[in-house]
Amino acid sequence: MVSARKAFDMTAMKWWGWGPEGVQFTHEDKPDLAPFITEVLGIAIGKPTEKPVPFDDLTIPPSNVPDGLRADLDAALGTAFVSVDPLDRVVHARGKSLRDLILQRRGELSRVPDVVARPGSEDEVTVLMQAAVIWDAVVIPFGGGSSISGSLEAAAGEARPVISVDLERLNKVLAIDSSSRLARVQAGVFGPDLEEQLATQGYTFGHFPDSFEHSTLGGWIATRSSGMQSDRYGDIADLTRGLRVVTPSGMLVVRAVPATATGPSVREMVLGSEGRLGIITEATVHVRPIPERRTILGYLFPTWADGLGAMRDIAASECSVSVTRVSDPHETQFSFASRVRPTVLDKLQSRALRIFLQRRLGYDLDQMCLSFIGYEGSEHHVAHQRRAVGKLVKRHGGLCIGSGPGALYDQKKFDIPHIRDFLLDRGAPGDVSETAMPWSRLLPVYDAVSAAASGAFAEVRVQGYLMCHLSHSYHSGACLYFTFAFRPTARGDLLAEYDVVKSAIQQAFVDNGATLSHHHAVGTEHARWLEQDISSPGVEMLRALFDGTDPRGRLNPGKIVSAGEQAPEPDRQRRPEALYPDDWGDLSPAGGNLPASGE
């Protein structure tokens, strides 16, 4: 135990929305936002018009815990950590997908867990697992409850007792090996608490997903999370070396080695397993000394293709950066409309900048794209990288607008999930879908998603808005992160209309060579596209893994691959599917379809 831990003031999120009670997004300090939303969605933004049903009006099914199971849990964990409190059970019944939010607000509860258990040690998790086996209960691990893929909800007809295992008490940094830049950390620690504990020793983990304030290390691992600075630190799959997982057949221990050739990677089976292989209790993860300097600079690009081309060229260069982000023109306009109380000086500068961009640089302001690029390290390193990146940006017609917008972005970065509640309060659904693909596929996927969303908006006859940013760059490709919202019809079913739009976007991903999710996992909400993404034998491999290690289906059943369907007879004869990607033959060997850097 290296770290002297400061108690963390974690407050459970609302049972119907993001963040703790009393914390919400507001437009009142953003004078341009209401007019913008009114224009693009046709919604008047005033006070909230919609409210969740009162908690007291909910019909909460009674808790179904056999006395023996209850006694075993009480004995192992202590009665204070075995809860059948109705609010506690409802909070643990679902994650925070838009579907979850809509249904919870309506009071349409899911199969609410029968009991919420809060083990205080790995040994207690083990005893809990043994009790679940003895009493034939279903076990659903719960970190921050921020899943937006339906990973936390028990199956509607589940007849067995359902235990939601909340890991919040496993929240300590156990040891730091400074020579190896590794830390042993309990899986239930929340993002801010983890950073706080590491900071006392001079370290950072560097993993900052949008959900950072309300998600845990174990949750990040179980869902293959990615953070805002993953360009530098790596995704959670890169950051996680060792693992300890309580399974029904004992402790799964993955050694914290930097690399290994011991067959298919067991480490990579736990990553993204969403509780289907056991309960992650501990991980040994990369840490780094807090950098001397951290900065995020704002840039503008004349077009989306220029912005994407610059990010690709940075990824292909000898530069190392911590953030690569560029918004399409729609999201750029949203960002400008979201500015907090601009001063008169801000407005003058902004007007001067617009004139400069139009008259001197020939920008079309409707096509202009806002970008953020982050730098970390020694002063010397940061200065060197800024200069090198600056040259690449310039080749794509880009312009640095300084550190002000970046600092603002850095402050506001965890606000985004609150906006869904803000819109639902006004009757409008808004959600996100993200994907990854090779660089050469970025524009085709973007165009396909734009067309799919437009088609879906038209199909359900709604006014909608779609915007996008590139959020992560890799050697061979990037993540595109789409946000959409619409004004629902007066008489239609909000959820059905949402589903048409969300499905059209996801379908466009898998139809165009992209993956169904870059960092939001599969759960139940993405499961229907899984076979199109990883192919039928890929689904069969996952099913073999889950069914073989958990034949009774007690570990968060139904997530990622459905439990109902039998695995097909593996010896059946089938011809190979179409080649993927099947259109490479058309690519110019000289450079794909993004503008080349200054050539």
Just list the catalytic residues: 481
Strands of 474-578, DSSP E: 477-487
Residue of 166, 530, 556, 558 that binds its own copies (CB under 8 A)? 530
With 0-12 / 13-18 / 19 or more C-beta atoms within 10 angstroms meaning exposed / middle / buried, residue 355 is exposed
Q: Scanning residues 283 to 302, which ones bind its own copies (CB under 8 A)?
A: 286
Q: Quick check: 564 binds its own copies (CB under 8 A)?
A: no
Stretch that binds its own copies, among 95-103, 338-346, 419-427, 587-595 (CB under 8 A): 587-595
Residue of 365, 540, 553, 562 that binds its own copies (CB under 8 A)? 540
Q: How far is the CB of 445 from its own copies (least distance, A)?
A: 11
Apex 47 CA angle, 41 and 53, nearest 5: 95
Residue of 33, 155, 246, 452 that binds its own copies (CB under 8 A)? 246
Residue of 9, 28, 157, 580 that binds its own copies (CB under 8 A)? 580
Q: How far apart are CA 334 and CA 336, in angstroms?
A: 6
Q: What is the DSSP string of 555-594?
A: BSTTSSS-SSSPPP-TT---PPPPPSSTTGGGS-TTTTTS
Task: Please check whether residue 286 is in contact with residue 238, taking contact to mean a CB–CB distance below 8 angstroms.
Answer: yes
Q: How far is the CB of 242 from its own copies (least distance, A)?
A: 7
Instruction: Closer to its own copies by CB, 24 or 320: give it.
Output: 320
Q: What is the DSSP string of 15-84?
A: SSSSSSTT----STT-TTHHHHHHHHH----SS----PPPGGG--PPPP---HHHHHHHHHHH-GGGEE-
Q: How far is the CB of 490 from its own copies (least distance, A)?
A: 36
Stretch that binds its own copies, among 63-71, 206-214, 483-491, 508-516 (CB under 8 A): 508-516
Q: Scanning residues 111 to 130, which ones bind its own copies (CB under 8 A)?
A: 122-123, 126, 130
Task: Please check whether residue 17 is in contact with residue 23, taking contact to mean a CB–CB distance below 8 angstroms.
Answer: no
> In terms of DSSP bridges, do strands 477-487 and 430-438 run parallel, antiparallel, or are they unpaired?
antiparallel
Residue of 197, 225, 433, 507 that binds its own copies (CB under 8 A)? 225
Q: Quick check: 278 binds its own copies (CB under 8 A)?
A: yes
Q: How far apart are CA 151 and CA 49, in angstroms?
A: 30
Q: How far is the CB of 555 from its own copies (least distance, A)?
A: 10
> In terms of DSSP bridges, do strands 323-327 and 369-377 run parallel, antiparallel, or are they unpaired?
antiparallel
Binding residues with its own copies: total (CB under 8 A) = 135
Q: At what angle do helices 67-77 and 122-134 cross, to 10 degrees?
A: 170
Q: How far apart are CA 163 and CA 556, in angstroms?
A: 10
- Taking alpha carbons only, the member of 213, 110, 179, 169 closest to residue 525 is 110
Q: How far is the CB of 432 from its own copies (least distance, A)?
A: 13
Q: Scanning residues 316 to 345, which ones bind its own copies (CB under 8 A)?
A: 316, 318, 320
Distance of CA 425 to the CA centre of its chain: 22
Q: Quick check: 563 binds its own copies (CB under 8 A)?
A: no
Q: What is the DSSP string of 382-394?
A: HHHHHHHHHHHHH
Q: Quick check: 520 binds its own copies (CB under 8 A)?
A: yes
Q: Quick check: 23 binds its own copies (CB under 8 A)?
A: no
Q: How far is the CB of 380 from its own copies (least distance, A)?
A: 9
- Cis upstream peptide for 66 (omega within 30°): no
Q: Scanning residues 52 to 81, which ones bind its own copies (CB under 8 A)?
A: none
Q: Quick check: 591 binds its own copies (CB under 8 A)?
A: yes
Q: How far is the CB of 11 from its own copies (least distance, A)?
A: 27
Q: What is the DSSP string of 400-455?
A: EEESHHHHHHHHHTT-HHHHHHHHHTTT--EEEEEEEEEGGGHHHHHHHHHHHHHH
Residue of 35, 68, 404, 538 that binds its own copies (CB under 8 A)? 538
Instruction: Closer to its own copies by CB, 377 or 488: give it.
Output: 377
The strand pairing partners of 555, in sequence order, are 139
With 0-12 / 13-18 / 19 or more C-beta atoms within 10 angstroms meaning exposed / middle / buried, residue 398 is buried
Stretch that binds its own copies, among 72-80, 261-269, 322-330, 455-463 (CB under 8 A): 261-269
| Residue 301 Ramachandran class (φ > 0 left, ψ -120 to 50 alpha, else beta) | beta
Q: Quick check: 577 binds its own copies (CB under 8 A)?
A: yes
460 Cβ contact partners less than 8 Å away, ≥ 6 residues apart: 489, 492, 496, 497, 500, 501
Instruction: Closer to its own copies by CB, 86 or 581: give it.
Output: 581
Q: Quick check: 258 binds its own copies (CB under 8 A)?
A: yes
Residue of 545, 553, 562, 563 that binds its own copies (CB under 8 A)? 545
Q: Quick check: 552 binds its own copies (CB under 8 A)?
A: yes
Q: Scanning residues 428 to 457, which ones bind its own copies (CB under 8 A)?
A: 436-441
Q: How far is the CB of 538 from its own copies (least distance, A)?
A: 4
Q: What are the two backbone dihedrals, phi and then psi, of residue 111, each rounded to the nearest 5 degrees?
A: -70, 90
Instruction: Closer to its own copies by CB, 80 or 590: give it.
Output: 590
Residue of 95, 206, 298, 377 that binds its own copies (CB under 8 A)? 377
Instruction: Closer to its own copies by CB, 33 or 183: give it.
Output: 183
Q: How far is the CB of 475 from its own copies (least distance, A)?
A: 5
Residue of 472, 480, 501, 508 that binds its own copies (CB under 8 A)? 472
Instruction: Closer to its own copies by CB, 337 or 436: give it.
Output: 436
Instruction: Closer to its own copies by CB, 130 or 463: give it.
Output: 130
Instruction: Closer to its own copies by CB, 300 or 479: give it.
Output: 479
Largest CA distance in the chain: 77
Q: How far is the CB of 542 from its own copies (least distance, A)?
A: 6
Q: Quick check: 378 binds its own copies (CB under 8 A)?
A: yes
Instruction: Closer to its own copies by CB, 177 or 459: give it.
Output: 177
Q: How far apart are CA 279 and CA 186, in angstroms?
A: 12
Q: What are the two backbone dihedrals, phi and then psi, of residue 398, each rounded to the nearest 5 degrees?
A: -85, 165
Q: How far is the CB of 128 from its own copies (least distance, A)?
A: 12
Q: Scanning residues 148 to 207, which ones bind its own copies (CB under 8 A)?
A: 174-182, 184, 201
Alpha helices in 92-190 (DSSP H): 98-106, 122-134
